[in-house]
Amino acid sequence: MQDVIAADADLVIRRVQDQPGDYALIVAWRNSEHVREWWDPDGPPTLEAVIEELRPSLRGEDPTIPCIIEQAGEPVGFIQFYPWDAETAYLADIGVSVPPGSWGLDLFVDAGLAAKDVHPKRETAGMQLAGHQRLRCRVRSGFERQERRRNDGQGKAQSDDCEQ
């Protein structure tokens, strides 16, 4: 497979190709309700808009690296990563500072994968994990556990909140 970024068993992360099929996958995913809620809340992206957005990265004109996630040879999601150093104006606008050399990433997965149980090695933000899995994922990502009790609506107290 060409342009593989990472591979482990049946999981592969590869660069998006400047081909209609890859763009169509991204448009379909970004128009899925579970993705649009976070990614494109202001309106559905079109094929033309996604091509215009991603093509500069694919040509090396933008430092963002967009990728397709495949499991067992099937496309199941999207991840892109980028150096925050290239986003200084945006960081200033939102009032955030990061150490030099920091990278950001954006991720979404197909609704069918998001609804499945996930192997701990593959836990990722945005997946619908059970409470204990979500807590473990957050702690592994650098969040600290905060003891907050809340009622789950059935009279049971739950404590699974984390703060960074």
Specify whether the CB–CB gap between 25 and 67 falls below 8 A.
no
In terms of pLDDT, which residue wins out, 37 or 21? Answer: 21
The per-residue pLDDT for 153 is: 52
Q: What is the pLDDT of residue 99?
A: 92
Q: In this predicted model, what pLDDT tens digit does every residue of 50-69 receive, in sequence order?
A: 999 999 999 999 999 999 99
Same domain, 36 and 65: yes
- pLDDT category, 42, cuts 50, 70, 90? confident
Residues 35 and 103 in one domain: yes
Look at the chain and report how many structural domains it folds into: 2
Same domain, 31 and 96: yes
By residue range, what is the domain housing residue 31? 4-119
Q: Are residues 157 and 92 in the same domain?
A: no
- Cβ atoms of 158 and 149 within 8 Å: the answer is yes
Whether 64 and 107 map to the same domain: the answer is yes
Cβ-proximal residues to 43 (8 Å cutoff; 6+ apart), any chain = none
- The verdict on residue 89 lying in a domain is yes
Residues 93, 145 within the same domain = no
Report pLDDT for 86: 87
Cross-strand partners of 109 = 77
- pTM for the model stands at 0.68
Is residue 69 situated within a structural domain? Answer: yes
**Residues 103 and 156 placed together within one structural domain of the fold:** no
126: pLDDT strictly greater than 90: no
Q: Are residues 103 and 136 in the same domain?
A: no
Percent of the chain with pLDDT over 70: 67
Look over the chain and give the mean of its residue pLDDT values, rounded to a whole number: 77
pLDDT tens-place string over residues 74-100: 999 999 999 999 888 989 998 988 999
What is the token pair recorded at 156?
């049971």
Residue 89 and residue 14 share a domain: yes
CATH of residue 99's domain is: 3.40.630.30
103 and 153, same domain (yes or no): no
162 pLDDT more than 90: no
Report the distance separating Cα 76 and Cα 127, nearest Å. Answer: 12
